[in-house]
Structure 1
Amino acid sequence: MANDHYFSATPESPARPRQISVTLAGRTLSLTTAAGVFSPDGIDRGTRVLLGSVPPPAPDGALLDVGCGWGPIAITMALHSPDATVWGVDVNERVLDLARHNAQVAGAANVSIGLPDAVPADLRFRTIWSNPPIRVGKDELHDILMTWLPRLEVAGDAWLVVSKDLGGDSLQRWLHDALGSSFQVTRSTTDKGFRVLRVHRAAE
């Protein structure tokens, strides 16, 4: 239907799956996307900026992709860090099915894809990468970020890509105030109109 959004829990529009060729962690892969998901034609510009600018994720422990979509970020983390457990979370059932399928195709056996409630409540993360769903609205976005960022391990890092035109600078200021003195929030990269923000957990 026309009112489907990529953050709809159960899109009602026909899926119309399609194959796309992408390069993740240096590997060219044929993956599947569909209608009713974010960026069905390939890797969007923001995600490309994120993946092209961040350091490698932690080599082991628990890693997280918030708003995983059809899986490019979670799969990249998993291929870089085969000894880690990568969690990809989203609310759209269609993209969850796609991400599971794509992780299997990519040989990323260390990826676990599911709804946010599927992640153990006591789990802490060494690395978080995210192209967060800005268009859900400011209040809901803030709720999402404050659900996951406080679950960084001490010395862990989160890397978020946000369009400057969609509030990247104001989000940086808000995160600094909301997270408090245990976290350091800095701008790591500016590229193609996007900000990559680093959130570092310095202390409990």
Structure 2
Amino acid sequence: MPEPPEHYYASEPGVASSRRTIDVVLPEVRLRLLTDTGVFSFRQLDPGTRVLLENAPLPPIRGDLLDLGAGYGPIALAMAHRLKRRRVWAVDVNERALELVRENAAAAGLGGVRAALPDDVPEDVRFAAIYSNPPIRVGKAALHDLLLRWLPRLLPGGAAYLVVQRNLGADSLAKWLAEAGYPTRRLVSRIGYRVLEVQPLRSEQ
């Protein structure tokens, strides 16, 4: 039976564990990753995540990176592979997902990856870039709260890159971000997904 969609953003998924491995092949990156039921897109690399990783640029400035809503870690590990001297925070509320990130990072020899619950990221850590395939299905209010928690932690000159399906509100999200003070533009549109580039608050640039 298909996995109920709410499981992947629960702190402790109710669905029984059933691990598997998948291959993630991207330009200059090849990873074999452990996944599990109860984690977002556990059967294969999500197509939106692929669009993000194939089109979002490397960070414009030096500093830590954030993978927001990391799941089993494809974004965090791909960025850590590309930028081996950077620290990459893989943040998720799902404990099963975070354990997978830790195991995948260790297996890939990527010591710069830090898997953490949201409250475990030190308050003074700020980010050169945020990469995210955000959990749209948590609802608009929860999504807005999530973004307003993390976007203010962008460093001046940094940027966030969000991938959102067009038919799940990518354009309305871009409009809301701009109205909230975050300059936002559509970076690319592929196979029904938009990659949005979000700049820091105008007052913080």
* Contact persistence 2:129–2:158 (CA under 8 A): yes
Counting only pairs closer than 5 Å after superposition, residues 26-41 of structure 1 correspond to structure 2 as: 26-41=28-43
- TM-score for both structures, normalised by structure 2: 0.92
Identity of aligned residues (%): 50
TM superposition outliers: structure 1 runs of 4+ over 6 Å: none
**Is 1:190 aligned to 2:189, yes or no?**
yes
How far, CA to CA, are the matches of 2:77 and 2:190 in structure 1?
23
* Contact persistence 1:59–1:84 (CA under 8 A): no
**Is 1:67 aligned to 2:87, yes or no?**
no
How far, CA to CA, are the matches of 1:67 and 1:12 in structure 2?
18
1:29-88 deviations in Å (ceiling 9; x for gaps): 221101111101121110010011111235742110100000000011111111211101
* AA of the residue aligned to 2:185: T
1:162-200 deviations in Å (ceiling 9; x for gaps): 00110000000000111x2xx321111111101110012
Counting only pairs closer than 5 Å after superposition, residues 11-50 of structure 1 correspond to structure 2 as: 11-24=13-26, 26-50=28-52
* AA of the residue aligned to 2:186: R
* Contact persistence 1:60–1:85 (CA under 8 A): no
- TM-score for both structures, normalised by structure 1: 0.93
1:118-145 deviations in Å (ceiling 9; x for gaps): 1111211101100000011110000000
- Range with greater deviation from structure 2 (22-31 or 158-167): 22-31
Aligned-CA RMSD value: 1.7
Comparing both structures, which one devotes a greater share of its residues to strand? Answer: 1
- 2:129 corresponds, among 111, 127, 130, to 127
Aligned to 1:8: 10
* Contact persistence 1:161–1:197 (CA under 8 A): yes
